[in-house]
A and B are shown apart, each in its own frame.
Chain A
């Protein structure tokens, strides 16, 4: 695919350890998607079939607390990725994803991802390490949020 796409992919943390040949293999399974501002990309509970990379714009990941109220889990920018849990397990989407601005995304389907990393163990190792580090930092952030809530309750 285009050298342009390769450069965009290189800028994503998930792929930061890959060499040019490996980046080209990733690029071959990427699709570009454009979204206007304020658009729902997926809803909590939807079957997860794609990973998304942000090349332009920003995306809000949030959970519905009750009708008309949401809790923002993260606001993601160009270079960030989301929806990675869909590539790893069979659970549905764990939150909603909305575009905050007009956004350019790159998507990778679950099947293509699984096939690629099964064939290419070097790519697999590098990507899995980065996914693990990302999940672990998201886990710690969520744990902090939970702790703050518990303290808030005790403080009442």
Chain B
């Protein structure tokens, strides 16, 4: 069941079952009660999370406005994947909405696993590169659109 859940994550989509088992071997379960904080914006990020059951909301504290929810994530959804590749701080809060079980993967374990399994590394790192490229393209377009708008004032 858990390998099925992992397969829905774009980073792991092209992996064989034996490779998914390897990813699972470095994953750990984390349980949270309703309203409990998984992490806060600004915390050091070193773990990727996949939701096995329950619900997590991703939000930001906006000065003068309060909490602004960015997304509500359900079983099969995942978040914090950037923590697998760099140690930049978390860019938003993650809070469990109800009793929630998460599957967590730590960056150092992920790095060691990929170092020891080159075929696995090749598949996962390609998927990661493609996703980042796509996000960067989208963001550059957004930036361009916003600058064009500002210029119109």
The reply to whether chain A is a binding partner of chain B is: yes
Q: A122-B118, A152-B150 are in contact. Are A128 and B129 (CB under 8 A)?
A: yes
**Contact residues in A for B135 (Cβ distance below 8 Å):** 139
Of chain B, the residue at the smallest CB distance from A146 is: B143
A28 at the interface (CB under 8 A from B): no
Cross-chain contact of B125 among A85, A91, A129, A143 (Cβ < 8 A)? A129
CA distance A63 to B150 in the complex (A): 15
A94 at the interface (CB under 8 A from B): yes
Q: Main SS of chain A's interface residues?
A: helix
Number of chain B residues whose Cβ lies closer than 8 Å to a Cβ of chain A? 32
A146 touches B136 (CB 8 A): no
B137 touches A85 (CB 8 A): yes
Within A69-86, the residues touching B (CB, 8 Å) are 69, 71, 73, 85
**Contact residues in B for A94 (Cβ distance below 8 Å):** 136-137, 140
Q: Main SS of chain B's interface residues?
A: helix
B82 at the interface (CB under 8 A from A): yes
B126 at the interface (CB under 8 A from A): yes
CA distance A5 to B116 in the complex (A): 31
**Contact residues in A for B114 (Cβ distance below 8 Å):** 125
Q: A85-B136, A89-B130 are in contact. Are A128 and B122 (CB under 8 A)?
A: yes
Interface flags, B59-90, vs A, CB<8A=1, else 0: 00000000000000000000000100110100
**Contact residues in A for B122 (Cβ distance below 8 Å):** 117, 121, 124-125, 128
Of chain A, the residue at the smallest CB distance from B115 is: A125
Q: Give min CB distance, A48 to chain B, whole Å.
A: 10
Of chain B, the residue at the smallest CB distance from A73 is: B140
A89 touches B140 (CB 8 A): no
Chain A CB within 10 Å, residue with most, of B122, B126, B133: B133
**Contact residues in B for A135 (Cβ distance below 8 Å):** 129, 132-133, 136
For chain A, the bracket of interface size reads 35 or more
CA distance A137 to B85 in the complex (A): 10
Interface flags, B81-101, vs A, CB<8A=1, else 0: 010011010010000000000
Q: A132-B132, A139-B132 are in contact. Are A125 and B140 (CB under 8 A)?
A: no
B133 touches A89 (CB 8 A): yes
**A-B contact list, 15 entries, CB within 8 Å:** A65-B151, A66-B151, A71-B144, A94-B137, A124-B121, A124-B122, A128-B121, A128-B128, A132-B125, A136-B82, A136-B86, A137-B86, A138-B136, A145-B143, A146-B139
Instruction: Enumerate the 9 nearest inter-chain pairs by beta-carbon distance, A residue then B residue, closest first.
Output: A128-B125, A135-B132, A121-B118, A125-B121, A142-B139, A85-B133, A88-B129, A65-B147, A88-B133
Extra inter-chain contacts (4) besides given A65-B144, A71-B147, A136-B85, CB under 8 Å: A132-B85, A132-B129, A135-B133, A136-B82
